[in-house]
Homo-oligomer: A and B are copies of this chain.
Amino acid sequence: MSKQDRISWQDVQNEVRQRISQRDWKPGEYIPHEAELAQEFGCARATVNRALRGLAEAGLLERRRRAGTRVALNPVRRAEFAIPLIRAEIEGKGQRHTHRVCLREMRLPPPDVQARMQIPAQVPQLFVQTLHLADGTPYVFERRWINTSAVPAVEGADFVTYSPNEWLMREVAFDGGDFTFSALTASAAEAEMLACSPGEGLFVLDRTTHHGGQVITSVRLVFHPGYQMHTRI
């Protein structure tokens, strides 16, 4: 922001952010046009555009052609969170990651999984249960269905050196996914796997992964008690 330097789009963005934050520009109000701001800041319109576009993506501004740009009424701010790779998440905490495949068999998926995976009924799929441990302590329990017609090579995988998650990441591409976060009450089986008491509230992530319109895999991750997912704006 020093006098002799050029104005960067971040300078503009910060200034605008501050004006919104200090309510110089109030929620619902229109702010000056790009051209006007460009003149005020002494930079090109493209620079202003770059700055405002970012704020609009963050949900702070609403922009419409012809109408102009205004401060969002309710900052429906979007937060981002990183999709965790279990191994990376555990090692990122300085702990050692191990995993144990508890079950691996072809099995007929229950109706809800069939629906999620958009596969014909009566066709067995690969079902794998895996427990991930951090320094030997149960971390997350994973029940996974793999679409064997989409990933035929999976029949030869033993998931010993690579957990199912890692194996799939290495072997197959994907281009989309659905994520559902929720909570459940630990069943006896889950409590045993995660070494906690039955009835405890556990954090759950259901994820379905796609590639080219086909479902690759659908997995439920049940985390140990006390697990937290964090993010910030």
Residues of A within 8 A of B (CB): 17, 20-23, 59, 74-83, 85, 88, 169, 173-186, 199-204, 211-212, 223, 225-233
Residues of chain B with a CB closer than 8 A to A174's CB: 75
The answer to whether B181 touches A229 (Cβ under 8 A) is yes
Q: Which residue of B lies closest to A83 (CB)?
A: B77
Structural contact, B21 and A212, CB atoms closer than 8 A: yes
With A175-B21, A178-B230, A229-B180 known as contacts, the answer to whether A82 contacts B74 (CB < 8 A) is no
Contacts of A229 in B (CB 8 A): 180-182
CB-defined A-B contacts under 8 Å, sample of 20: A17-B175, A21-B175, A74-B85, A74-B88, A74-B169, A75-B174, A76-B82, A76-B83, A76-B85, A79-B81, A83-B233, A178-B230, A179-B233, A180-B229, A180-B230, A181-B181, A183-B184, A183-B204, A183-B227, A201-B202
B residues in contact with A231, CB < 8 Å: 178-179
If A177-B232, A179-B232, A228-B181 touch, whether A78 touches B74 (CB-CB below 8 Å) is no
The answer to whether B74 and A228 touch across the interface, beta carbons within 8 angstroms, is no
Q: Which chain B positions have C-beta within 8 A of A180?
A: 228-230
